[in-house]
Amino acid sequence: MDSEPPESRLVLRHRLATRLWHWLNALLLYVLFTSGLGIFNAHPRLYWGHYGANFDTPWLTLERFGSWVTLPAHYSLAMSRHWHLAAAPIFAFALLIYMAWSVISRHLSRNLSFRREELAPRHLWEDICDHARLRFPTGETALRYNVLQKASYVGILFVVLPLLIFTGLSMSPGMNAAWPWLTELSGGRQSARSIHFIAAFTIVAFVLVHVLMVLLAGAANELRSMITGRYRLPEARS
């Protein structure tokens, strides 16, 4: 039987602020997504422009989502809106605070900024091949994000999530009254609704891939690092 690697191989991987934001985000995204599907069920069609009614031509028509994936677990537009609007401001402010912390603590520049050599075509191709072969990094390399991870995290943090929040505000009647230019920037309320829907499912796709990678890389070790911060460095391949 192989002996377990020594305890000294445990290192601090995630700071407390990162871990707290991660789990708060997971809860809020669940509430927002499931309640958002409940709201979508009131009119499961998407349009571009300012208007969208039963006699307009939608670019996407779906069946209503099942109760197993909506909040609440039955059709109630009022309750779905209640859950969505309760979670949305917490989510937005938590993201703003985390982004500010990332800049101040240099987490952004230290861990998510791209190095010139990482963007070389040869290096990019090697990272893609390693992911395709499920060759996960070992030793100290496992503590650093690779270029594909950086690209996906930066894209979600600084493009998709802000877009989700912006289009959500664009659809709010209160925001429409106070700042009508928000809706105009989105191309109209129906365009904002379509972009909001696409951004939400982009995040779902990211989460599914993220969970799959955690399972393949070693769920116990990865979960421990996001709960306690402690991560056992993978042994180098023989």
Q: Are strands 230-232 and 60-61 parallel, antiparallel or unpaired?
A: unpaired
Which residues, in sequence order, are CB contacts of 169 under 8 Å at separation 6+? Answer: 175, 182
pLDDT, greater one: 235 or 217: 217
- List the domain boundaries for the chain: 7-232
pLDDT surpassing 60 at residue 6: no
Percentage of the chain exceeding pLDDT 90? 45
pLDDT surpassing 90 at residue 78: yes
pLDDT surpassing 60 at residue 24: yes
pLDDT surpassing 90 at residue 70: yes
Reported as type and span, the H/E element at residue 175 is helix 173-178
Please give the model's pTM, rounded to 2 decimal places: 0.86
**What token pair was written down for 182?**
């928000």
Please, what CATH class does the domain formed by 7-232 belong to?
mainly alpha
Measured distance CA(69)–CA(71) in Å, rounded: 7
- Place 3 in a pLDDT band, splitting at 50, 70 and 90: very low
3-state DSSP helix/strand/coil % of the chain, to nearest 5: 70, 5, 30
**pLDDT tens for each residue of 151-197:** 999 999 889 999 999 999 998 877 777 788 888 888 888 999 999 99
